[in-house]
Structure 1
């Protein structure tokens, strides 16, 4: 097996709050660059990924905004804004029908697909790699309240429905105990896994930026999160792991992976480990006020982008983080990333070989950060962009004027957290640089199909002029963001917070 992927929402291909576009995720572009066939059915065995019809689970914001634009153009006046809520409900109804009562509630493609090469699931924190199983998902789906055609409801138990679709697509009872790591073990002992892409950990921090509030772990040696049950962790609703809590959990993850890979049938196996980005870079948390001196730049407040035109709304009670909050979150992430690097080196020393390779996504995104760099990012884009074929883009929140001209953004999708298709391509570029240096046969960032990646990015190819309307109406933006926050906060169908998104 050339490639196998363990991860969370980014690796799954969640974009614009819609689950998911796995065929456009970074690992899929890596597979194509390696010359591996990609598909969503059993007939494409080289790199198989699930698809998510009916607008996917959760709420695809791009679908909603494009429908509103078709109905009303670039201006929505007066009572027409009621159509915003109605359109959201229509999109959600399609997903509810499909995933609660329709084809999406049963085995994937009639049970013809036994497993996928990408087993990433949105909402996963580190320990979910071994704690979440199909049996747990089926139990929670059966017990979920609110199944049925509700108003503004995502499919019930959406997190569990998604995980079940990924971990046991055929609904084979013999596979009810298979977690992400169990699938890795199955393939390592079978045909062998040459390259493992591992990216878990962002959800142990990013919820603090998404919900604009910090719920840190307790940092108690006698009660590390890794020692707790799934239900105990769920009830705790943490969204930021303290470094010692994180290293205990991440060390357990790497120990389990190392045990599996030592029995790998592929003799030249490697693991490519991405670290945790600075979550305050995500445009969902936009800086407000005059930046503080120093580099990187920090702002007095952080709030949702349409509310970030000035400090008035923040001071009036809009959700926000302070400068000290942002610095604390970033310092915590730095400490966790230092632990990841140390854990990797420890395992390489044990093997007396470089089996584990760090992919410094955090550093790459720091160089991409627009506002934090004072509008002068230092990231070196692939040659395709240097040739002027594609217009420049940045990490600000997506903004398009009424004439359809993009004014900002392009790397992050409409939810302000997850990469756009082009952003996913840049992640693939970073992984492939490390894979090439490690000697993976065929790994070359220059082999990424950039014309196809850019053509697949509908936000780039067909900008949405309705964005200007949202930016110009603070009250409407506040109402839209309240709905956005509500879905982010409860989307998993298992937790009351976004702590491990």
Structure 2
């Protein structure tokens, strides 16, 4: 079978439980949201909360190194198509491009001052100018208007928080996040928003009362689920659709930091787990079991669990040199996208090996088998839990792994059909790192400038896949008036998203095909550590 041999041997420190997974080849995605367990549920009335989401940065709406336009997160896109935007509560991050540092804002600021190319004699001034912007961002969130959190009426429906893994969702609260904050220091040369993740979380988590400040994310969702009944209401469910999309941060740090440290004792401790970049499958399974037990307590009519994407596909870690062997999914090394094959030096440049990338994928495959098993077990007990295999969607979009290498494709693989409005773009967006030629996008477009998180159009694809599952479960979508039913199939308004997607329709002109401005920013500003290593 093409692609079945996978790739190189294991890295020396790979746990035995991961080594034992190697013989199965690439995991085939699950295309049936019911995982083969049919149900015939009957519902009464209309739940008060049509959509609630639990997740990490992919749910929060993180993009290009920051969370800012949460109205373009996939939950907000779904709420728009439900005709429920006016009721959908989400956090807001106004001012200076959001938290912690918006790479697009920085590049556009440099473009306005220095044009499409940064010449060598302009570099010292550019460093000073960039640090001035970063200092203003830091001041805004640590000492300025960003320290004032808006008072919200009711718990947010979007409960995604960037950087959080399963243990964070199980344990952290508004109180614990507030306790993390210390008196910030105004560093002269190190403009980093201290505890930026806790600051972002405090805009998500409920905190109006002492009781609310002690709620975890699942407990907050459970409170929404308790709001049942009322005129025409559902007597059993306060939430119509709950989406749970977690687990990427149990492996993502391995590619964002280009360092593999397998979880060990302390994986379930908020402090000790910071040392680990990828979780052993057994540790992930234990965390997942705790989370599933808490989700069971949420009175939601439908619960959609999303699988974990293969983080090695994200273009922040680019494969270099020729593939390990014909038909392999893996390159010998993975490094930063601006380091060319000719320039790469394994003795000098940060990297993962192909063996490490394969081991990470094997672990993620097991995470997803366990998520599938959780959904199947719940359905057998009569719960309307469903599965969206996001990992399979991303695999079908993987440009360098599969699209450019037919020999690496497993038997189940077929290219993902982009929506017509997206496919009509020139060029059609793909999973490579975004780059520009002559002021126009010449490649990429599905991933934003941090090389990990989607663009607005990319979030639209996630929203569409979830909408498809929701329609299959009988969820009614309505027009903007919130009352008039829409005719199936319901499709995302991608024209609206393309208009809002500045990276698709007007990318920064200084983002050339060599990505030299990002290489410069990472070298002199430590740019990607600031934006991708969330817990400072």
So what's the TM-score if we normalise by structure 1? 0.87
Aligned equivalents of 1:364, 1:152: Cα separation in 2: 39
Aligned equivalents of 1:451, 1:294: Cα separation in 2: 40
- Superposed CA deviations along residues 335-354 of structure 1, whole A, max 9, x for unmatched, are 11111111111111122x5x
Q: Which secondary structure state, in structure 1, belongs to the residue aligned with residue 291 of structure 2?
A: helix
Between structures 1 and 2, the one with greater helix share: 1
Distance 1:478 1:490, change over 3 A: closer
Q: Which runs of 5+ in 2 are unaligned?
A: 1-48, 229-237, 406-413, 479-487
1:138 aligns with 2:178: yes
- Counterpart in 2 of 1:398? 434
Find 1:345's aligned residue among 359, 376, 398: 376
Q: Which runs of 5+ in 1 are unaligned?
A: 38-43, 494-501
Distance 1:469 1:324, change over 3 A: closer
- Counterpart in 1 of 2:157? 117
Deviation of 1:172 after TM superposition, in Å, equals 3.6
Deviation of 1:129 after TM superposition, in Å, equals 1.3
- Counterpart in 1 of 2:511? 467
- Alignment of structure 1 residues 30-429 onto 2, 5 Å: 30-37=78-85, 44=86, 46-54=87-95, 55-108=97-150, 111-142=151-182, 146-148=184-186, 150-168=188-206, 171-191=208-228, 192-218=238-264, 223=265, 225-226=267-268, 229-234=269-274, 237-258=275-296, 260-261=297-298, 264=299, 269-295=301-327, 297-307=329-339, 309-310=340-341, 312-351=343-382, 353=383, 355-375=384-404, 378-386=415-423, 388=424, 391-401=427-437, 403-429=438-464
Q: Greater shift after overlay, 158-167 or 377-386?
A: 377-386
Q: Which secondary structure state, in structure 2, belongs to the residue aligned with residue 412 of structure 1?
A: coil
Aligned equivalents of 1:478, 1:89: Cα separation in 2: 13
Contact 2:434 2:448 in 1 (8 A): yes
Aligned equivalents of 2:148, 2:219: Cα separation in 1: 22
Contact 1:64 1:91 in 2 (8 A): yes
Q: CA RMSD in A?
A: 2.2
- Superposed CA deviations along residues 29-55 of structure 1, whole A, max 9, x for unmatched, are 111111112xxxxxx4x1011111122
Aligned equivalents of 1:195, 1:475: Cα separation in 2: 42
Contact 2:281 2:366 in 1 (8 A): yes
Contact 2:521 2:527 in 1 (8 A): no
1:486 aligns with 2:524: no
Contact 2:450 2:528 in 1 (8 A): no
Aligned equivalents of 1:364, 1:328: Cα separation in 2: 20
Q: Which secondary structure state, in structure 1, belongs to the residue aligned with residue 157 of structure 2?
A: coil
Distance 1:445 1:173, change over 3 A: farther
Contact 2:332 2:353 in 1 (8 A): yes
Distance 1:473 1:11, change over 3 A: closer
Aligned equivalents of 1:95, 1:273: Cα separation in 2: 35
How many residues are treated as equivalent by the alignment?
461
Tell which has more relative contact order, 1 or 2 (C-alpha 8 A, sep 6+): 2
- Superposed CA deviations along residues 281-310 of structure 1, whole A, max 9, x for unmatched, are 000010101123354521111000001x11
